[in-house]
């Protein structure tokens, strides 16, 4: 049979095209970022409605620190505001919120509100969240692999012979995404067809979808269309099906 007819467990989105969206309207890039917050809200709703269990969003890459200072500080301010404005609603819906990345580069204030938001939305002991919303902030795939390898090397320093019998899953445990299933579907908006140092290890068998829609225009209908496209994919994992 063609297609897998399934709802993806984990949908990940590279939210791209905010600057171009603003430019098309003769506005500053930050207008695009502000409008993009509405798309985050819409996709969270659509994902919950569809029964997606993990929605992850690439919000800011390690490379994005190289943007003009004013854009970086606006984005960080918007992240702070979004957490402040949305966290009670997420908690009320039973959505667990997590932020993953090289957080040592964030301001202490932002880090503090992230930690509080994570605690506020953490599911009670023995309870499954309705969905987990993961925001990748100050993240890069190579950073993740390097920090995993470094931590692992330190832990195995006293028993190097154990390195000879490692399984893939032994390495998985050191990645910042440990416990989160690999993405089934990775969507990139704005028509770009590159991974831009996002999840590298974890996307080994993800279905990739590039859509021309710019992120601020990617709303519920577009999210649902992406799930529809996913349901037609035939995931073979290297086998014959
Ligand atoms: C995505 O939109 C947001 C971030 C990367 C923070 P962009 O800001 O990259 O928008 P374009 O790609 O320049 O249009
Ligand atoms: C990727 O978008 C990063 C995020 C969406 C957070 P970029 O706009 O930074 O990527 P490039 O520069 O087009 O590769
Ligand atoms: Mg971009």
Structural domains of the chain, count: 1
CATH of the domain at 66: 3.40.1180.10
Give residue 220 CA to ligand 1 midpoint distance, Å.
Answer: 20
Does residue 59 come out as left (phi exceeding 0), alpha (psi in the -120 to 50 range) or beta? alpha
In this prediction the pTM is 0.97
**Residue reference for tokens 């932020």:** 99
* Interacting residues of 129 by C-beta distance below 8 A, sequence separation 6+: 94, 95, 96, 121, 123
In a domain, 236, yes or no: no
State both tokens at 188.
């990139």
| pLDDT interval class at 100 (50, 70, 90) | very high
- How confident is the model over 181-232, as pLDDT tens digits? 999 999 999 999 999 999 999 999 999 999 999 999 999 999 999 999 999 9
- Give the pLDDT confidence score for residue 1 in this predicted structure: 47
Phi (first) and psi of residue 164, to 5 degrees? -75, -15
Q: Find out whether the beta carbon of 4 lies less than 6 Å from any atom of ligand 1.
A: no
Rounded to the nearest 5 percent, the helix, strand and coil shares of the chain are 50, 15, 35
In a domain, 29, yes or no: yes
- How confident is the model over 15-47, as pLDDT tens digits? 999 999 999 999 999 999 999 999 999 999 999
Sign of the dihedral through C-alpha 62, 142, 44, 213? positive
- How confident is the model over 190-203, as pLDDT tens digits? 999 999 999 999 99
In a domain, 216, yes or no: yes
In a domain, 100, yes or no: yes
Atom 13 in ligand 1: residue holding the nearest Cα: 19
Atom 3 in ligand 2: residue holding the nearest Cα: 61
What DSSP element (H or E) covers 100?
Answer: strand 95-100
Residues in the chain, overall count: 241
Cα atoms in the Cβ-side hemisphere of radius 13 Å centred on 195: 16
Is-catalytic flag, 112? no
In a domain, 218, yes or no: yes
In a domain, 177, yes or no: no
Q: How far apart are CA 103 and CA 82, in angstroms?
A: 17
Strand 95-100 to strand 131-139: parallel, antiparallel, or no bridges (unpaired)? parallel
DSSP state of 12: E
Domain extent for 35: 10-142+182-231
Residue 185 DSSP SS3: strand
In a domain, 225, yes or no: yes
Q: How far apart are CA 82 and CA 87, in angstroms?
A: 8
Give residue 5 CA to ligand 1 midpoint distance, Å.
Answer: 32
* Marked catalytic residue, from 4, 64, 102, 197: 64
- Ligand 2 proximal residues by C-beta, below 6 Å: 14-16, 58-61, 64, 192, 194, 196
The mean pLDDT of the chain is 97
Q: Find out whether the beta carbon of 183 lies less than 6 Å from any atom of ligand 1.
A: no
Q: Find out whether the beta carbon of 120 lies less than 6 Å from any atom of ligand 1.
A: no
* C-beta separation of 95 from 130 below 8 A: yes
Atom 12 in ligand 1: residue holding the nearest Cα: 17
Taking alpha carbons only, the member of 40, 83, 65 closest to residue 143 is 65
Phi (first) and psi of residue 51, to 5 degrees? 90, 20
Atom 8 in ligand 2: residue holding the nearest Cα: 16
Is-catalytic flag, 16? yes
In a domain, 173, yes or no: no
């Amino acid at each position: 049979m063609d297609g897998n007819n399934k709802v993806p467990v984990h949908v990940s989105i590279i939210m791209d095209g905010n600057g171009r969206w603003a430019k098309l309207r003769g506005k500053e890039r930050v207008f695009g970022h502000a409008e993009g917050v509405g798309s985050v809200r819409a996709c969270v709703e659509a994902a919950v409605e569809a029964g997606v269990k993990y929605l992850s969003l690439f919000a800011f890459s390690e490379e994005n620190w190289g943007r003009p200072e004013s854009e970086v500080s606006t984005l960080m301010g918007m992240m702070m505001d979004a957490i402040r404005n949305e966290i009670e609603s997420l908690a009320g819906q039973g959505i667990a919120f997590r932020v993953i990345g090289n957080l040592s580069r964030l301001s202490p204030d932002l880090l503090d509100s992230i930690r509080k938001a994570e605690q506020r939305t953490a599911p009670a002991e023995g309870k499954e969240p309705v969905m987990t919303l993961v925001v990748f902030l100050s993240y890069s795939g190579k950073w993740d692999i390097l920090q995993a390898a470094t931590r692992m090397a330190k832990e195995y320093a006293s028993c190097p012979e154990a390195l000879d019998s490692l399984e893939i899953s032994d390495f998985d445990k050191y990645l910042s995404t440990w416990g989160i299933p690999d993405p089934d579907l990775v969507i990139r908006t704005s028509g770009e067809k590159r991974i831009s140092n996002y999840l590298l290890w974890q996307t080994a068998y993800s279905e990739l979808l590039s859509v021309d829609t710019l992120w601020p225009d990617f709303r519920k209908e577009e999210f649902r269309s992406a799930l529809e496209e996913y349901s037609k994919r035939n995931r073979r994992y290297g086998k014959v099906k």
